[in-house]
Amino acid sequence: MNTATRSTALALLALPLAALAASSASLYDFTVHSLDGKSVPLKSYQGKVALVVNTASQCGFTPQYEGLEKLYENYQKRGLVILGFPSNDFGGQEPGSSAEIQQFCSTKFHVTFPMFEKVTVKMGAGQAPVYKFLSSNGDIPSWNFGKYLVNKQGKVVGFFGSTTKPEDPKLTEAIEAALK
């Protein structure tokens, strides 16, 4: 096999992998589990704009829970839902059980937006399917509190890293645009 043929063969093998990552047409095709272990079809949020955030309770960015809750309170009636996915991927900063995470979020930050069971967001064999979908365009959280903005059709329309605070005008402008 010559170099050109080998390159073409490798490219063709990569196509199914890319297609697999993007095979779900929408965030709303997935079913996840809430912190209390209940199965939650994300299609229950279809038609809403979602801000999907990988969270952690012992991180320097943890105070963003307060801003996320304010965003949720301000935009919920207009169709925004915030979906929190705890992850222990970065610095082991989410070591708690689901019950401990729920307790922490509700008592410390009065979180009322939906929170789900701990997931793996990093690429690899253990990456949660929902995060395979979210990161299929190449935007992958490099730390806790990475934020994916998903439109009403379930497509990712923006990614905001950990240092982007919930009140950042770039994020709120993107939310406003997605809600129109």
pLDDT per position as a tens digit, 147-167: 999 999 999 999 999 999 999
Q: pLDDT-based confidence at 48, cuts 50/70/90?
A: very high
- Give me the amino acid identity at 134: L
Catalytic site includes residue 105: no
Residue 8 inside a domain? The answer is no
Domain count, the chain: 1
pLDDT per position as a tens digit, 98-132: 999 999 999 999 999 999 999 999 999 999 999 99
Residue 10 inside a domain? The answer is no
Residue 62 inside a domain? The answer is yes
pLDDT at 1 over 90: no
**Which range of residues forms the domain containing residue 41?**
25-179
Residue 125 inside a domain? The answer is yes
Can you read off the two tokens belonging to residue 1?
């096999």
DSSP string, 31-64: EEEBTTS-EEEGGGGTTSEEEEEEE-TTSTTTTH
Residue 17 inside a domain? The answer is no
What pTM was estimated for this model as a whole?
A: 0.86
Question: What is the model's pLDDT at position 4?
Answer: 47
Residue 11 inside a domain? The answer is no
Residue 19 inside a domain? The answer is no
Q: Could you give the CA distance from residue 154 to residue 48 in angstroms, rounded to a whole number?
A: 8
CA 51 to chain centre: 7
CATH number, position 98 = 3.40.30.10
Burial status of residue 14 (CB atoms within 10 A of its CB: 0-12, 13-18, 19 or more): exposed
Q: pLDDT-based confidence at 25, cuts 50/70/90?
A: confident
Q: pLDDT-based confidence at 39, cuts 50/70/90?
A: very high
Residue 102 inside a domain? The answer is yes
Q: Which one is catalytic: 40, 59, 140, 157?
A: 59
**Average predicted confidence (pLDDT) for the chain:** 90
Question: What is the model's pLDDT at position 150?
Answer: 98
Question: What is the model's pLDDT at position 16?
Answer: 42
